[in-house]
Amino acid sequence: MSDEIKSCSPTPDAEPTATRSTVPMWIFSLTLVLIFLGAVYFDHHGGWFDAKVYGPYSSAEELDSYQPKSGAAALLAQGRKTYETVCGICHGTDGLGKPGQFPPLAGSEWVNEKDFKRLAQIPLDGLNGTVHVKGQEWNASMAAMGAALSDADLAAVLTYIRSSWGNNVSAVTADDLKAVRAGVAGKPAINGEQQLKTIPE
Amino acid sequence: MKNGFGVFIAAFIALGASWCGFVLAPAVQLSTAKQTTVLNSSDLYPIQRTGDATLGLQVYRANGCAACHTEQIQQDGVVCDVILTGAGKNPSAVSNLISTLKLTGLTKEQADGDSDKITAAGGKVEIHIVATGADIARGWGVRRSVAADYLYDSPVQLGGIRVGPDLADVGTRLSNANWQLLHLYAPRSVVKNSAMPPFHFLFESKKIGDVPSPDALQLPKVFAPPAGYEVVPTDDAKNLAAYLLSLRQDVPLYEAPFTPLQVSTNAPAK
Amino acid sequence: MNEISQQKIDASCRVPLLALFGGAALWLIVGLVLAIVASLTFHMPEKFANCPLLTYGRVQPAANDAILYGFAIPAALGVMLWIFARLSQGELVLPIVPIVAANIWHLGVLVGLVAILIGDSIGSQWLEFPRGSSVLLFAAFLLIAISAVATFGARRERELYPSHWFLLAALFWFPWIYSTANLFLASSHPVRGVAQAVIGWWFANNLIFVWLALVGIGTAFYFLPKLAGKSLHSHYLALFAFWTLILFGTWCGIPQGAPVPAWLPGLSSVASALTIIPLIAIAVIFVKTVCGANTDCKGGPFCYIKFGTVTFLLSSLMLISLGCPHFSKIVEFTWFVPAQTQLQIFGFFAIVICGAIYELLPRVMGFGLPFPKFVRVQHWLFMLGIILLVVSLAVGGIEQGLKNYSLESSLPFLRVSTTGLLFLLLGSFLFAANIFAMTFKWKLALIKSVIAAVKAPMETSEVKS
């Protein structure tokens, strides 16, 4: 058998053995150094097991500091989004409405009033009958499209309408809107321009 | 170690430790997460994919699309830009001030400092948070991918190698279903020198009946079937296209904030 | 130690090892053919446009799994059984169990590969086999582990040799990672969300890096001193290497830019750096054991195992480099990553295990290799193939990363890598030739002796089985 085996080990093949030399000290020191450096690295980059901290942020505090504040821009963004899904279908994403059907909001005197209370009641209660907008007569009926929206959402929509397409009047806060809503909840739709004008500004 | 039991204990300790760290902890921390909300909004995120898109994910898995495409965007850094929104009562003072300041590519502290200076001079500013990175520069996304993006996916198809472009945000970038179907049938008809193999088996080539099918692909001559035949997508192809269109990661989240340049919605693309 | 007893030990392993190695050799060929078919997609994309079974996304994972589950693991198990038998100085216990298990295993691989090709892949890399297949593989592994542990338990020399630690740990490792991965990812209620990917990465790292390292280094620590005619340097350093490998190596594997909280890639990064330690230890052991060896074989098993150990160090260095965020940013989703896994599987593991098989098989069968020259030719073919495959993919990957992931720039590299695969395929034919020729020769001898026994019932004949 031995001359047929084309291997290089001497026969009979003994099982291997291992020497008992000691482990060199430098490898232990190196391990400890690397563990220390690793701990420092993890401290800087690991986010300390926080589920919300992702690179490039190195800590929860840093992530928090980079949150954009909920300012006017955010309100406008939210308002625009809600407007486009709720109001824009009829009044148009450009605020120009549809001739013969839906009145424009761009440049509308009802939108550009200093106080928003009259404007706010239109989506809260609905509007029927005849209304003049920018000199033109409109005779459609609008359901209470804003009744289902939250205060924050409707305030954002009104803010958006009041500062877009050339309109440039004050924003509406959710708290103000809450007060208006409390006053008009459950009322029937406003009927015509006359009734609209009776609402105090 | 003196005996087999010792070896077993050693292996148990080592593997048990990493099992706790990389199996148990992520399962607890990441899988039990609930829907979160889009930053500065009350919209929920993520929303479940529609039925077609969920079936499309299975087509994606079955055909091993993850062997060439990843679905994860990386972000290398974050910077702030200071944007002037109003000149205030003293425009010349503000504009003099601005010409001395660096207003883009700042850290948050620098941006806050500049913003305070401008506000003190009477101007109105906004600080925009911008995610930066090679993937973002390539237009593959606007922010990094995070765990919330994959909450409802099963199986998660992150991919590991980019033979083709990243698909995490492809629904924003290439939101036309027809383009996706054309690309699946004949990639070179819409992407020059594409290395993607054509997926003819996701389509049927059939004789044109009395009227051409509404679904039939409008192929350029080189890729078109013989005269009298039309190429119609199967359900698999349509579902896969729906899935690709549902791949969007364009809303800011708490863990990946950025200031959207235009309003994005998490509604499915049309 | 008496030679007759060694013959009996070797003979007791004969049928189980042939069952494992025969299938492994076949799957190696199948896997390499599938890999070549997959890579053809880059050179002629239109070719397989009409056939769903041959689309890249199915064939590439099938190729990977065929090589890993079809070739690497059965070959590993066979070598482990023999090493345990030899180190125990006793025959293999319950040899019928590995024979049955080998067949179950190969059936499982077949079912799994067919499932991938028809579109039933689970969808997680290295874990594509669906449940029917994975259950078969798990059961087969446990059966073989029972036989191996029983053989180990029956050892005469109670002190453990370093290879014992590595191989026993490997027997424990695979069932745990495989069952975890399948339960969390492939069951009817998989874990939700991106945790799937994390567990997938944990599994892949523990299988491709840690498990193959445990078996490969354990095998190398057995054969290197034997073939060099020296003692392994040293028992305690090997113990240190073992502990640091399993403690640190198991935590690598989470990619740096992954969509997971920062602590996961952070831990992986630290673990990758710490994995240098076992590499240094293994390198010292290797150099001190092999240098000054009085044997010098060209292209024989000793060369295989030496080459394999060195490439293990290289492939682990590549893995560690992936844990460095700055480097990973360039190469993360490029061909560099498969280059590293191919170096680990082919350059390290396949070579070490082939060398081990060439060394042990003549002893087990009781006669020499039918084609001894093939060993040297295969050595050169494998070396050339691996260099072409890995270097081209690695360089192509770095270039791909620097050039914005464009595929055009990496096409020439892919052509070179396909050539590398062809060389590997040729080498695998030679490997299979030797194994099948040996099996055939043995079966022929068996049939002849049975016929002789039947023909001459009066003569007492020792049936060598």
Contacting chains of B (3 CB pairs or more, <8 Å) are A, C
In a domain, B144, yes or no: no
Q: In this complex, is the C-beta atom of C175 within 8 Å of any C-beta atom belonging to chain B?
A: no
Residues of C in contact with A61 (CB under 8 A): none
H or E stretch at B60 = helix B51-62
pLDDT-based confidence at residue C459 (cuts at 50, 70, 90) = low
Q: Residues C394-412: what's their mean pLDDT? A: 84
- Together in a domain, B84 and B60: no
Distance of alpha carbon A151 from alpha carbon A127, whole angstroms = 19
Task: Report the residue of chain A nearest C237, measured CA to CA.
Answer: A23
By CB atoms closer than 10 A (0-12, 13-18, 19+), residue A69 is exposed
Assess whether pLDDT exceeds 90 at residue C263. yes
**Helix locations, B72-225, DSSP H:** 91-100, 108-120, 134-137, 170-173, 177-185, 187-190
Chain B residues whose beta carbon lies within 8 Å of the beta carbon of residue C160: 1-4, 7
Q: How far is Cα C185 from Cα C119, in angstroms, rounded to an integer?
A: 17
% of chain B surpassing 70 pLDDT: 97
Name which residue leads in pLDDT, A189 or A16: A16
Question: Sign of dihedral through CA atoms C146, C148, C149, C155?
Answer: positive
Q: What is the pLDDT of residues A18-36, one digit of tens each?
A: 999 999 999 999 999 999 9
A91–chain B nearest CA distance, Å = 19
Domains and CATH numbers, chain C: 1-159 (1.20.120)
N residues, chain C: 465
Supply the pLDDT for residue A2. 36
State the pLDDT at residue A177: 82
Rounded Cα gap, residues A187 and A180, in angstroms: 12
Q: Give the C-alpha distances (Å, rounded to integers) separating B53 from B146, B245, C121.
A: 20, 8, 19
Residue A130 pLDDT class (50, 70, 90 cuts): confident
Check pLDDT > 80 for residue A13. no
Amino acid at residue number B15: L
The domain total for chain B is: 2
Lowest mean pLDDT segment, chosen from A9-23, C114-128, C247-261, C407-421: A9-23
Residues of chain C neighbouring B2 (CB-CB closer than 8 A):
159-160
- Collect all residues of chain C within an 8 Å Cβ-Cβ radius of residue B33: 193
Mutate to test the interface with A, among C4, C9, C227, C282 (most CBs of A within 10 A): C227
B53 is a domain residue: yes
Answer whether residue C457 shows pLDDT above 80. Answer: no
Domain co-membership, B179 together with B223: yes
| Strand pairing category for A127-128 and A190-191 | parallel
Worst-scoring range by mean pLDDT, A14-18, A66-70, B251-255, C113-117?
Answer: A66-70
Average pLDDT, chain C: 92
Predicted confidence (pLDDT) per residue in C27-83, tens digit: 999 999 999 999 998 888 888 888 899 999 999 999 999 999 999 999 999 999 999
Q: Using CA atoms, how far apart are residues C227 and C297, in angstroms rounded to an integer?
A: 10
Tell me the longest C-alpha to C-alpha distance in chain B: 85
Domain assignment present for residue B207? The answer is yes
> Is residue B106 pLDDT above 50, yes or no?
yes
Average pLDDT, whole number, for chain A? 82
Contact C226 A16 (CB under 8 A): yes
| Alpha carbons B140 and B131: distance in angstroms, whole number | 12
Among B196-210, C113-127, C406-420, the minimum mean pLDDT is found in C406-420
Contacts of B76 in chain A (CB under 8 A): 56
Please indicate whether residue C41 or residue C312 has the higher confidence score (pLDDT): C312
Q: Do A65 and B108 touch (CB under 8 A)?
A: yes
Residue span(s) of chain A under CATH 1.10.760.10 come to: 72-198
State yes or no: pLDDT of C200 exceeds 60. Answer: yes
**Percent of chain B beyond pLDDT 90?**
56
Chain A contacts of C358, Cβ < 8 Å?
7
Give yes or no: residues B170 and B59 share one domain. yes
Average pLDDT over residues C433-445: 93
For residues B50 and B93, membership in a common domain is answered with no
What residues contact residue C198 under an 8 Å CB cut-off, 6+ apart? Answer: B22, B23, B26, B30, C254, C258, C260, C264
Alpha-carbon separation of residue A191 from A91, A125, C354 (angstroms): 19, 10, 91
Minimal CA separation from C454 to chain A, in Å: 27
Peptide bond before residue B252 is cis, with ω within 30 degrees of 0: no
Say whether residue A18 is in contact with chain B using an 8 A CB cutoff: no
Which strand (E) or helix (H) includes residue B18?
A: helix B4-19
% of chain C residues with pLDDT over 90: 81
User: Within 10 Å of residue C101's Cβ, how many Cβ atoms?
Assistant: 26
Look at B63 and C52 and tell me if their CB atoms are within 8 Å. yes
pLDDT of residue A6: 40
C-beta atoms of A19 and C235 within 8 A = yes
pLDDT beyond 80 at B88: no
Boundaries of domain holding B111: 77-132
Highest mean pLDDT: which range of A71-75, B169-173, C226-230 = B169-173
pLDDT, one tens digit per residue, over C264-308 is 999 999 999 999 999 999 999 999 999 877 666 677 899 999 999
What per-residue confidence (pLDDT) applies to A3? 35
Model confidence at B270: pLDDT above 50: no
Distance from CA of A58 to the nearest CA of C (A): 8
Please tell me whether residues B121 and B175 are part of one structural domain: no
Angle in degrees, 0-180, between the axes of helices A117-125 and A174-184, rounded to the nearest 10: 60
Look at residue B268 and tell me whether its pLDDT is greater than 60.
no
Q: Is residue B263 part of a domain?
A: no
DSSP B20: I
Peptide bond into A12 cis (omega under 30): yes
More confident residue, C166 or C47: C166
Token duo for residue C72? 């690497």
CB contact under 8 A, C261 and A57: no
Average pLDDT over residues B245-261: 90
Please tell me whether residues B87 and B62 are part of one structural domain. no
B199-244: per-residue pLDDT in tens? 999 999 999 988 888 989 999 988 889 888 999 999 999 999 999 9
B263 pLDDT above the threshold of 70: no
**Residue A72 pLDDT exceeds 70:** no
State how far the Cα of C317 lies from the Cα of B180, in Å rounded to an integer: 41
Distance from the Cα of C9 to chain B's closest Cα (Å) equals 21
Residues B102, B223, single domain; the answer is no
Looking at domain A72-198, which CATH architecture does it have?
Orthogonal Bundle (1.10)
Residue-wise pLDDT for C134-161, tens only, equals: 999 999 999 999 999 999 998 888 889 9
Give the confidence band of C235 by pLDDT, cuts at 50, 70, 90: very high
| Rounded Cα distance, C417 and C397, in Å | 12
Q: How does DSSP classify residue A98? A: B
**B226 and B176 inside one domain:** yes
CB of A100 less than 8 A from some CB of C: no
Q: Does A6 touch chain B (CB under 8 A)?
A: no
Question: Are residues A55 and B126, on separate chains, in Cβ contact within 8 Å?
Answer: no
Q: What is the mean pLDDT of chain B?
A: 89
Banded pLDDT at C463 (limits 50, 70, 90)? low
pLDDT at A71: 60
Residue B72 forms part of a structural domain = no
B24 located within any domain: no
Task: Measure CA B264 to chain center.
Answer: 13
**Is the pLDDT reported for residue A70 higher than 60?**
no
- Asked whether the beta carbons of residue A68 and residue B42 sit closer than 8 angstroms, the reply is no
CB atoms within 10 A of CB B42: 10
b/e per residue, C17-33, with b = 16+ CB within 10 A? bbbbbbbbbbbbbbbbb
Closest chain A residue to B22, measured at CA? A49
Locate C181 and state its tokens. 């991965």
Average pLDDT over residues B95-116: 86
Give the model's confidence band at B266: pLDDT under 50 very low, under 70 low, under 90 confident, else very high.
very low
* Residue type (1 letter), B256: A
pLDDT of residue C460: 56
Global pTM reads 0.84
Q: Is the pLDDT of residue C126 over 90?
A: yes
Query: According to the 3-state scheme, what is the secondary structure of chain C?
Result: CCHHHHHHHHHHCHHHHHHHHHHHHHHHHHHHHHHHHHHHHHHCHHHHCCCHHHCHHHHHHHHHHHHHHHHHHHHHHHHHHHHHHHHHCCCCCCCHHHHHHHHHHHHHHHHHHHHHHHCCCCCCCCCCCCHHHHHHHHHHHHHHHHHHHHHHHCCCCCCCCHHHHHHHHHHHHHHHHHHHHHHHHCCCCCCCCCHHHHHHHHHHHHHHHHHHHHHHHHHHHHHHHHHHCCCECCHHHHHHHHHHHHHHHCCCCCCCCCCCCCHHHHHHHHHHHHCHHHHHHHHHHHHHHHCCCCCCCCCCHHHHHHHHHHHHHHHHHHHHHHCCHHHHHHHCCCCHHHHHHHHHHHHHHHHHHHHHHHHHHHHHHCCCCCCHHHHHHHHHHHHHHHHHHHHHHHHHHHHHHHCCCCCHHHHHHHHHHHHHHHHHHHHHHHHHHHHHHHHHHHHHHHHHHHHHHHHCCCCCCCCCC
Residues of chain B with C-beta less than 8 angstroms from the C-beta of A56: 75-78
Query: How buried is residue C124: exposed, middle or buried, by Cβ count under 10 Å (0-12/13-18/19+)?
Result: buried
Three-point CA angle B198, B201, B206, nearest 5°: 110
B2 has a pLDDT exceeding 70: yes
Minimum mean pLDDT among A21-25, A175-179, C19-23, C57-61: which range? A175-179
Nearest neighbour of A54 by CB, restricted to B33, B256, B263: B256
Query: Rounded CA gap, C38 and C418, in Å?
Result: 9
* DSSP E strands, chain A: 127-128, 131-133, 136-138, 190-191
Chains A–C, number of C-beta pairs less than 8 Å apart: 154
A neighbours by CB contacts (3+ pairs under 8 Å): B, C
Report chain C residues whose CB lies below 8 A from the CB of A45. Answer: 262, 266, 269, 325
